[in-house]
Amino acid sequence: MKVLLVGSGGREHAIAMAIKQSAEEPTLYAAMRYKNPGIARLCEDYLLVNETDVQKVADYAKSADLVVIGPEAPLAAGAVDVLNDRGVRAFGPTRQAALIESDKGWTRSFMSRQGIRGCPKYALFDDLRDADRFVKDNIDEGNLVIKPVGLTGGKGVVIVSSYSEGSDYLKKLKGPVVIEECLSGEEFTVQAFVDGNVVAPAPAVQDHKRAFEGDLGPNTGGMGSYTDKSYVLPFMDEGDYRAAIAIMQDTVDALKSSGMTYKGILYGQFMLTRAGLMVVEYNCRFGDPEAMNVLPLLRSDFVELAESAIDGTLKSTDYELLATVCKYVVPAGYPANPKPTEITIDKDQINATLFYASVDEHDGTIVTTTSRALAVLGVADTIDDAEQQAEHALQFIKGDVFARHDIGKRELVQSRIEHMKRIREGS
Ligand code: AMP
Ligand code: GLY
C-alpha cells in the first residue's frame, strides 16, 4: 500500500511515524514544502512542493492508495476535493468542511445559527471602519479579541484593552474580522478522528501559545504541550471533557445536516470559564505540537482509522494513557525576528522522541528556518517525569535557539490548577 503524506512540520513527522507503524506496512511518500529530515528518512520518495499547489500535489499522488493531509492550508485550498475528483482517497475535510477553520466568521455564524453551545459573544465585520467604531463603543465593557477571519498560522489573534490598541491593530489588517468578548479561564484541546458521524477523541492536551516563559510575549503556533496519564488534564474533570466531546459531536451533526459532512481530524480548542465551557476555535487538522503528544500514544492503526473515517465506518480509537510533555526548540528571535541558525543534535544522548519540524538538512548539517525547528517529547507515568525526560533531551540540542523550560514543570501545572480553582469560585 502506498500512502502519501502532505506537510513538512513536526505534526507531520508524528503522523509519518504513526503511518509507518501500521500493520498495512505502507510505503510512505511525502509532499513537503522543505525537506523535513525526519520525514524524508521514513519515505521511499518525496516531492518538494508548495503544499497549497494542490494540482501539483495531486499529480504526485496519482498512484497513492491513500493521501493524508497534515496542515490546514492545503485543506483550505481544496486538496481533498481535487484528489477525490481524480479518484484518489484522501483523509481530511473537503474545502467546504474546512471552513470550520479557514473562516472564523463563518464558524461563529454557523455555531450561533445552529445553537451550538459555547459560542462567545461576537460581531463580524467586512468593513474595518465599522470594526473600529465597534471597538470604540464597546471597549469600556472589557477587553476585546480581534481575529482576522482567515488562516494566520495561529498568530493573528490579538487581545486589546484600549481603543487605541484595537484601532492600531485594525489598521494593520485588511479584513474581514471577528471581534469577540475576551474569555478568561484555562484552555485545552481535544483532537478527534471523525467519519461524518462518529467523533473518536484523543486525550486532552494543553498547548502553550505564548513565546516566552511565564506565558509572556507574542502568540506563536505553540511552544509546547502536555497530557496527563488520563483523558483529562489536572485542572479539569471528566465532566469538562465529556462536555467538550458533546459540543464537537453537535458540531459534526450540524455540519452533516447542513450538507457538509465532516471527515478527518477535528480539533476543538476549548476554554473552561466561569460561565462554563466555551469554544475558542475549531481547526480542521491535528494541532502542532498537540499531534506529537497524542499520536505516539495511539494504539489503534492510524491507516485503518483514516480509511474508516473516509468510508464512514469509524468505531473508536484506543490510546495508551501516559503523561507526555512536548517542547519546541525555536530559533533566537522567534516569532518576531527569527534568525536562521545551524544546530547540532547529539542524538546518541537523547532519551526522548525527537521530531523534526522547520529545518533544512544540507550535507548532514541541520539549519533552522524562521519557524519552530524541532521538538522533543517525554513520555512517562507522571507529567513530572515526562518533563524531565524532555528537559534532559534539550541539553543535547545546541545552537542559537531557545525553548520554554517551564512547560510541564510542576509549578506551572500547579498554577493552572489554582487558576481554574479561582475561576470556578469566581474570585
Ligand atoms: P485561535 O487562533 O482562535 O486559537 O486563538 C489563539 C489564541 O488566542 C487562543 O488559544 C486563545 O489563547 C486566544 N483567544 C482566542 N479567542 C479568544 C477569546 N475569545 N478570548 C480570550 N482569548 C482568546
Ligand atoms: N497548536 C495550535 C494549533 O495547531 O493550531
Q: Minimal CA–CA distance to 4: which of 107, 83, 73, 119?
A: 83
> Is residue 412 helix, strand or coil?
helix
**Ligand 1 binding pocket mutation candidate from 146, 157, 181 (most atoms within 8 A of CB):** 157
Rounded CA gap, 240 and 271, in Å? 10
Neighbours of 257 (CB within 10 A): 10
The whole-number pLDDT of residue 427 equals 67
> Is residue 422 helix, strand or coil?
helix
In which residue ranges of the chain is pLDDT below 50?
A: none
Position in ligand 1 atom list of the atom nearest CA 154:
2
The whole-number pLDDT of residue 8 equals 96
pTM: 0.97
Give the domains, in start order, of the chain with CATH numbers.
Answer: 2-99 (3.40.50.20), 121-181 (3.30.1490.20), 184-311 (3.30.470.20), 323-415 (3.90.600.10)
Which residue type does 33 have? Answer: R
Do 107 and 98 touch, CB atoms closer than 8 A?
Answer: no
Q: Is 290 in the pocket of ligand 2 (CB under 6 A)?
A: yes
Question: Residue of the nearest CA to atom 2 in ligand 2?
Answer: 287
Rounded CA gap, 344 and 397, in Å? 6
Each as own residue / partner, the long-range contacts of residues 77-82 (CB below 8 Å, 24 or more positions apart, any chain) are 77/52, 78/54, 79/6, 79/54, 80/264, 82/54, 82/55, 82/57, 82/58
Q: Is 228 in the pocket of ligand 2 (CB under 6 A)?
A: no
Task: Please list, in sequence order, all residues whose beta carbon lies within 8 angstroms of the beta carbon of residue 138, skipping any fewer than 6 positions away.
Answer: 144, 179
Rounded CA gap, 73 and 291, in Å? 17
Helix, strand, coil shares, percent, the chain, to 5:
35, 30, 35
Tens digits of residue pLDDT in 335-368:
999 999 999 999 999 999 999 999 988 887 899 9
Average pLDDT, the chain: 96
Rounded CA gap, 258 and 242, in Å? 24
Position in ligand 2 atom list of the atom nearest CA 11:
4
Where are the alpha helices (H) located in 127-277, listed in sequence order? 128-138, 163-172, 238-257
Do 175 and 136 touch, CB atoms closer than 8 A?
Answer: no
The whole-number pLDDT of residue 175 equals 78
46 forms beta bridges with 30
- Ligand whose nearest atom lies closest to the CA of 271: 1
Rounded CA gap, 232 and 278, in Å? 16
Tens digits of residue pLDDT in 240-295:
999 999 999 999 999 999 999 999 999 999 999 999 999 999 999 999 999 999 99
Where are the alpha helices (H) located in 262-395, listed in sequence order? 290-294, 302-311, 383-394
Rounded CA gap, 48 and 364, in Å? 18
C-alpha grid cell, residue 169: 491593530
